[in-house]
Amino acid sequence: MQSQKEIGALAQLLNWPLPENWTAVLTRFADAWPNYLEYQISFPSGEFALITLGRTPQFLETITTYLQEIGGDNAALAIFQNMRQYVGQATWGLKLVLSHHPEVQLYVKKPLPVPEVLFWLRQRQGIDDAAGETIEAVATQLEKSHTHFVGADFTPGQPVRYQIYFTQYVTADKAVQKRIQQALGCLGLSTTAQQQFDRYHPLLAQPEQTLWLSVGLSNQQIMPSMKLDYSGVRLGVAGLLMEDLNLSASQRDVLVQIGEQLGVDTADYLGLRLADGQPPQISLYLTRQCRS
């Protein structure tokens, strides 16, 4: 794999310890990486993940085998198989955190009606009534009848957790900002989280770009956070954000070195996670390979 040296260099730069057998994961999904490869780099944790896409039965069966090998339990595997049956033909995103405790997240890249998704989640005991009503309220505030992605975290050793994604097309006025403010209110996030959104949204949002929003579910309940993924954010702007969040100068230096290492000036997406009781978390998404 051409990017193997690049991955190793980034992990070293981030001080992220790769497991001894990490190249075997690359080999297992060797058919997918040439078509799509994306890096996710998170601050301040330094977490490093790889993302790829696929839609063939072979790709999904390879995921099943991998989940079995890393200790996925039968209940989680059954949810994955049922998810495949419900969704039908679709493109799937696969996120792998390369660590000594492997993490696996899957994303269905297919618009699905909100009532269908909630019905499926209730059958899987992935959502309770109150959380379902909250998702409906968020969708209403965002003026969305369909999800854009549905994600599931199949990391072994924990119950399956879910993510519901919506999108907003940013316009020059403040209509989108107001809708997101109302959605944050539906989630019951604190005034602090809402103030953080008001401060950073004008910095990161660009007109005529798509903004992604996601809400998480754990143990049938809404997680007290929202993640916002902004398109086309320059690394220099990401540095301003990191400075404002009091991230260390050494981490901001790492950001500069990432740009130099990859020869890029702009992240395809910058993720900003707002949550009660903790400072915002940042993720950079950098696409390295993409075939139409």
> What distance separates the 2 farthest-apart alpha carbons in the chain?
50
What is the domain extent for residue 242?
4-290
Residue 2: its pLDDT value, please?
60
Contacts of 119 (CB under 8 A, 6+ apart): none
What average pLDDT does the segment 138-146 reach? 98
CA 76 to chain centre: 19
Is residue 269 within 8 Å of 233, Cβ to Cβ? yes
Which range (78-82, 98-102, 264-268) has the least confidence? Answer: 98-102
Task: Report the predicted TM-score, pTM, of the whole model to 2 decimal places.
Answer: 0.95
**Stretch 55-62: mean pLDDT:** 97
Closest CA to 212 of 276, 168, 161, 260: 168
Q: Can you tell me the mean pLDDT for 98-105? A: 91
Confidence at residue 3, expressed as pLDDT on a 0 to 100 scale: 84
Check whether 52 has a pLDDT greater than 70.
Answer: yes
Instruction: Give the Cα separation of 160 and 282 in Å (integer).
Output: 23
Residue type, 196: Q
User: Residue 15 in contact with residue 46, Cβ under 8 Å?
Assistant: yes
Angle at which helices 129-141 and 175-187 cross, to 10°: 170
Number of domains comprising the chain: 1
Q: What secondary structure letter does DSSP report for 207? A: T
Q: Are 185 and 191 in contact (CB under 8 A)?
A: no
Q: In the numeric block, which tokens belong to residue 46? A: 């330094």
CA distance 268 to 106: 20
pLDDT tens figures, 169-187: 999 889 999 999 999 999 9
C-alpha closest to that of 102 among 49, 59, 61: 49
